[in-house]
Amino acid sequence: MNTIISLMKRNYKLLLAVVILSVTLFAFKMKSASETDPDKDKLLLELLTFVIEKGHYDPAAIDDTFSKGVYKDYIQALDPSKRFFLQSDIDEFSKYELELDDELINKDLTFFTLSYERLMQRMKESQGLYKEILKSPFDFTIDESFNTDYEKAPYAKNEAELKERWRKQLKLTTLSSLTDKLKIQENKGKVSKDEVAIPGNPLEEEETAKVDEKETAADSKPKSFEELEKETRENTSKSLDEYFGFMKDLDRNDWFSVYINSITARFDPHTNYFAPEEKERFDVSISGTLEGIGARLQKKNDYTEISELISGGPAWRGKQLEAGDVIMKVAQGNGQPVDVVGMRLDDVVKKIKGPKGTEVRLTIKKVDGTIKVISIIRDIVEIEETYAKSSIVNKNGLKYGVIYLPKFYINFENKEGRDAGKDIALEVERLKQAKVDGIVLDVRDDGGGSLSTVVDIAGLFIEQGPIVQIKSAGRKKEVLYDRDKKIEWDGPLVIMVNSFSASASEILAAAIQDYKRGVIIGSKQTYGKGTVQNVIDLNQFVRSNELGDLGALKTTTQKFYRINGGSTQLEGVSSDVVMPDRYSYLKMGERDVENAMPWDKIDPADYSVWNNNSNFAKAILHSKQRIAANPQFKLIEENAKWIDTRSEENEYSLNIDKFKKAQSAIEEKAKKYKPIFDYKNDLKFTSLPYETEQMSKDNVLKEKRDRWHESLAKDIYVEEALNVLDDLQTKVSLNKTNKTPLPANKLKKEKLAKTN
């Protein structure tokens, strides 16, 4: 059982004990795997409902309302753009809308089997549709339109209506690409990529289109409209071939996972089922490590292609594999090679991955067409992008450090593995050695991770005290403390957040804010996820399981609260200084998710605010004044409002003249916001000495750091965070004697507190 916002040991044992009390429900010898899959599916349903009902923080009642929600989510997941099912299918399915709760309780698979078989049938029919439609040229002179608001669109009444929907969808896709090609050709390849807006995507109209320079050079002779139209249709057909090739790779188990997750989502948005492969990917994402060769793979028709080598991994060190190589066969050591052409990507990955120290032999078709057998010894691969990194910058005669934390990672299985708490402590120590005058900790887009690492990281910046409060259903709250009196960094501190900073990121920001230890700067509020999940291996409940790996369940077991007593659920953490961002008006937070758990509050913990920087309030005021007066921030705010209005525009003309006119208007408007992307500050960001030495030997790492430093030099948000550090500077010595002491009874209370 793994914890993602880590569940305390006592509650871990409680949940496990509750489940074990009834483990005999599933302690029977399973039927042979050679028998029907429905046996495994029924077992999964029984396990999931049992574990959720016993372990979930506040399980929903499995009734008709529950059934309606499952039905709605599942049908939408199967056919989100309504291009497969007919209204007659939906009419047939709707008979089960209020029956799914009963089917779940009785482990009845009737509805799933019906919907799965019908989807397979409709997908097969659709392949014939798009191939037929794309054989003939489109007439772009006809005055017709297509609405991309699929949620409000009705289902097609018959096959003729469905074919018409496919025709319009394909016509819009082709028209969008065709107008791009025409524009590039009209400008003879001299169009700056910053001047071409991508049509058809209301959220990214103002983004820049990519110009294929090789294609432009090769096509120096202008093509006719008819040639370009045919070329675009063929490209659309190839894209759909790849899409249906991917769909073909999905088997019944994959679709059953979709059904299960439509069930689990009714309990809350963060309760999910992980099929075995998904569980492995989750473990990799939370630990940042895997055992294998260190290569990212992608499917290209029937072939598996190397898309990227992970820096430092076995494949990268061997220098024989390269991006673009195609894997033809896989052998385990001296074993017989297995042909993997046409094999599912997940199955290819399974054959290549393996324990550290074992050998895998890959038969590779190189990019030059030659065939080569490459031997690789598997090893632990660390995914460097997962881990914390830091940079230094000089500003106004002062030196500052910027630490970026993409995830609160931890390796639950390996105590010697990477741990965000230890890594941030190390980065802080390195920055101290570099004699920085202030630190920015950037947790923008950080979706969370391990709770124990939050306590460790927050503890680096305070003397000691509570960091977060946690409550389980029907039990008293528990408080997690930083008990180490040592302060790793007592200087000026800024925490950067945005609307995608969630969970553990919010705990950190809330603790720093409640202590008034640093300034929180970023979006109006963070994501708003204030719940704790446990990942439970379902195989532990079955003896003599011959049906294979059952996967795992991630379920909500607790809620966490700020030390001031308020929940971060729904409301998130409000920034001390709000900076406009381009997506501030779009609905993307927990408060916008169906079935999100409610906000509430509990009693505050016993803590004292930080009291050693008289410039704190002034720094916040000055930052607000700068942002209000900054024309770049004003432009970002205006752009955000425009993006919000564009997101509501779903009707597109399929007449080429009207389409071009509409896109030209968008492009013209987008030019106004071009300075947002062209912005560059005068700051120079560099790596710390130890990393500079590594970069001299690792060109891949150097390229990644150069790109990061370049992005920092274009980041107005980082620039303002550094301005706040300027304002926080004080001549008062920031030493232990300046801090407000803990209340006299604090230590006594802490001794009595229940701990992690």
Extents of the domains making up the chain: 289-382, 384-738
State percent of the chain over pLDDT 90.
53
Whether residue 23 has pLDDT greater than 50? no
User: pLDDT by residue (tens digit) across 424-482?
Assistant: 999 999 999 999 999 999 999 898 888 889 999 999 999 999 999 999 987 889 999 99
- CATH fold group of domain 289-382: Pdz3 Domain (2.30.42)
Residue 11's pLDDT band (cuts 50, 70, 90): very low
pLDDT score, position 580:
95
pLDDT score, position 646:
85
Residue 180's pLDDT band (cuts 50, 70, 90): confident
Whether residue 674 has pLDDT greater than 60? yes
Give ∠ CA 646-193-660 in degrees, rounded to 5: 50
pLDDT score, position 639:
92
The region of weakest confidence among 138-152, 188-202, 314-328 is 188-202
Residue type, 670: A
DSSP strand pairing (493-497 vs 519-522): parallel
The region of weakest confidence among 7-21, 40-54, 629-643 is 7-21
pLDDT score, position 12:
35
What sign does the CA torsion over 380, 385, 386, 390 have?
positive
Residue 283's pLDDT band (cuts 50, 70, 90): low
pLDDT score, position 741:
35
Q: Which CATH code of 3.40.50.150, 3.20.20.10, 3.90.226.10, 3.30.420.40 fits the domain covering 384-738?
A: 3.90.226.10
Token pair 């969970």 is at which residue?
503
3-class SS of residue 338: strand
Q: In the Cβ-directed half-sphere of 170, how many Cα atoms lie within 13 Å?
A: 31
The whole-number average pLDDT for the span 26-31 is: 35
3-class SS of residue 664: helix
Q: Quote the tokens at residue 540.
A: 């532990």
Contact between residue 589 and residue 499 where contact means Cβ atoms under 8 Å apart: yes
The whole-number average pLDDT for the span 528-538 is: 91
Q: Quote the tokens at residue 240.
A: 């759909």
Residue 97 is classified by DSSP as: T
State percent of the chain over pLDDT 70.
83
More confident residue, 129 or 345: 129
Whether residue 43 has pLDDT greater than 60? yes
More confident residue, 603 or 198: 603
pLDDT score, position 286:
54
Contact between residue 547 and residue 598 where contact means Cβ atoms under 8 Å apart: no
Which of 231-245, 412-426, 595-609 holds the top average pLDDT?
Answer: 595-609
Contact between residue 470 and residue 558 where contact means Cβ atoms under 8 Å apart: yes
pLDDT score, position 175:
94
More confident residue, 731 or 354: 354
The whole-number average pLDDT for the span 90-110 is: 96
User: pLDDT by residue (tens digit) across 546-581?
Assistant: 777 888 999 999 999 999 999 999 999 999 999 999
pLDDT score, position 611:
77
Contact between residue 179 and residue 663 where contact means Cβ atoms under 8 Å apart: yes
In what order do the strands lie in the sheet containing 685-686? Answer: 577-578, 519-522, 493-497, 438-442, 398-404, 389-395, 685-686
pLDDT score, position 31:
38
DSSP strand pairing (519-522 vs 577-578): parallel
Whether residue 132 has pLDDT greater than 80? yes
Mean pLDDT of the chain: 83
Q: Quote the tokens at residue 367.
A: 């990019």
SS (H, E, C) 166-235: HHHHHHHHHHHHHHHHHHHHHCCCCCCHHHCECCCCCCCCCCECCCCHHHHHHCCCCCCHHHHHHHHHHH
Whether residue 280 has pLDDT greater than 70? no
pLDDT score, position 197:
36
The whole-number average pLDDT for the span 107-127 is: 95
- Phi and psi angles of residue 538, each rounded to the nearest 5 degrees, phi first: -75, -15
Contact between residue 504 and residue 449 where contact means Cβ atoms under 8 Å apart: yes
CA distance 505 to 8: 18
pLDDT score, position 409:
85
Whether residue 202 has pLDDT greater than 90? no
The β-bridge partners of 304 are: 299, 327
